[in-house]
Amino acid sequence: MHEIMAGRGPCLHHLFYQEKEMIKEFALNNLHILRRLTQLTFICLLLLAPSLDLLRYDVAANDLYIFGQVWELGLGSEFYADPTAFGSGYVAIRILLKAILPWVIVLSIFPLLGVLLGRTFCGWACPEGALFELADSITLKLLGRRSIFGAKPNDPPGAKGGKFKYIVLSGIYLFIVPPFFGVMIAGYFIAPARIWQEIITLDPSFGLKAGVIGVSSYMFLSFIFVRHTICKYFCAAGLMQMIFGWASPVAFGIRFEKASFSRCTDCRQCEQVCFMDVKPRGREDINCVNCGECLSVCTRELGADCGLFTYSARHRDGDGHGEKIAPDGCRPVAMK
């Protein structure tokens, strides 16, 4: 420290830079694990939010719980009794602050995410997207392709050896996971304590039965037939991020270094890992969810600092792809 202060050692700015680079390198080397952890966290959040009173609407009591508190407008009958301009102004301000403003904030989350991060939420946090990826991966192990409808040019190699464990896994995934989610998601509308009481006494109410059957049927059918087609064409949150991300001049996301195409070994791993059927080496695609899987495999193929993908803010430079990101001296480590 004395040396730094005396100007003889490395300066603080240099140390911070080194630290930043180390964190960046660690994150890039462990992108896949970090993404799975983030997805798992959001799945837990989705399932536990009602039980923790983070978010739920109790239909029976007509109460909205947010972060452990009942959300009220705070307008008892006494407030409406004041006929003066002050009284009605007070009521108007309460409605604006407690009803309209929160909704504006909630509705602006996904457009804002789109402007800043493109579809990164879809690739890193969306519980449904994570479950679809798992469905893809089980199908790949069982059938040797991602979709039940037929092989695609970008399908990765399937699993070798026995399939029995994957048959068991797919049974659990189709017949146990959907009803479990159904029970947990019913908690957004029925008090969780009541749900467990109904389950223990084997006396489910109409609301619980409807919730479980509805959620289970949706999950069962979407796991088998639809999967990421929902993300591409039907999910409102995904579409908002897609449109605002596409229009944003600064959206952060995955970029391909076209200027160094000559380093590409044409291994096609970046295409094979892309569950959104994007061609990562082509033009920017509005379906890219910035998952970073193409970045990870390309870095493994070409070596550290030599991969052809990076995360960066968008540069409007013609085709939307970024500037050079790796030194010219990089050469493929495994020419095919």
Q: Detail the DSSP E strand segments found in 21-128.
A: 55-58, 63-66, 69-70
Residue 285 CB neighbours (<10 A): 15
* Sheet strand arrangement including 63-66: 55-58, 63-66, 69-70
Q: Is 309 left (phi over 0), alpha (psi -120 to 50) or beta?
A: beta
Least distance (Å) between residue 23 CB and ligand SF4: 20
Q: Interface with ligand SF4 includes 292 (CB under 6 A)?
A: yes
According to CB under 6 A, which one of 181, 260, 301, 322 is a site residue for ligand SF4? 301
According to CB under 6 A, which one of 140, 183, 208, 297 is a site residue for ligand SF4? 297
According to CB under 6 A, which one of 276, 306, 325, 326 is a site residue for ligand SF4? 276
Separation of alpha carbons 121 and 244, rounded Å: 13
Q: Which residues pair with 256 in a beta bridge?
A: 309
Least distance (Å) between residue 200 CB and ligand SF4: 43
According to CB under 6 A, which one of 140, 280, 306, 311 is a site residue for ligand SF4? 280
Q: Interface with ligand SF4 includes 117 (CB under 6 A)?
A: no
Nearer of residues 178 and 253 to ligand SF4, judged by Cβ: 253
According to CB under 6 A, which one of 131, 190, 191, 264 is a site residue for ligand SF4? 264
- 41-49: Cβ within 8 A, 24+ apart: 42/125, 42/126, 42/127, 42/130, 43/127, 43/130, 43/131, 46/127, 46/184, 46/185, 47/181, 47/184, 47/185, 48/184, 49/188
- 30-39: Cβ within 8 A, 24+ apart: 31/292, 31/293, 31/295, 31/296, 32/292, 32/293, 32/296, 35/123, 35/124, 35/291, 35/292, 38/124, 38/125, 39/124, 39/125, 39/126, 39/127, 39/129, 39/130
Nearer of residues 179 and 332 to ligand SF4, judged by Cβ: 332
Q: Interface with ligand SF4 includes 267 (CB under 6 A)?
A: yes
Nearer of residues 170 and 269 to ligand SF4, judged by Cβ: 269
Least distance (Å) between residue 35 CB and ligand SF4: 10
Please give the C-alpha separations between residue 333 and each of 31, 135, 298, 306, in angstroms, as whole numbers: 21, 33, 11, 9
Q: Which stretch binds ligand SF4 (CB under 6 A): 146-154, 178-186, 216-224, 263-271?
A: 263-271
Q: Interface with ligand SF4 includes 260 (CB under 6 A)?
A: no
- 66-69: Cβ within 8 A, 24+ apart: none
Q: Interface with ligand SF4 includes 242 (CB under 6 A)?
A: no
Least distance (Å) between residue 277 CB and ligand SF4: 8
Q: Interface with ligand SF4 includes 235 (CB under 6 A)?
A: no
Nearer of residues 102 and 282 to ligand SF4, judged by Cβ: 282
Q: How many residues bind ligand SF4 (CB under 6 A)?
A: 27
Q: Which stretch binds ligand SF4 (CB under 6 A): 33-41, 84-92, 283-291, 313-321?
A: 283-291
Nearer of residues 212 and 278 to ligand SF4, judged by Cβ: 278
According to CB under 6 A, which one of 130, 184, 190, 302 is a site residue for ligand SF4? 302
Exposed/middle/buried for residue 106 (C-beta within 10 Å: 0-12, 13-18, 19+): exposed
Q: Interface with ligand SF4 includes 251 (CB under 6 A)?
A: no
CA atoms within 13 Å, Cβ hemisphere of 204: 12
Q: Interface with ligand SF4 includes 298 (CB under 6 A)?
A: yes
Query: By the criterion CB under 6 A, which residues form the site for ligand SF4?
Result: 123, 254, 264-270, 273-274, 276, 278, 280-281, 288-294, 297-298, 301-302, 308
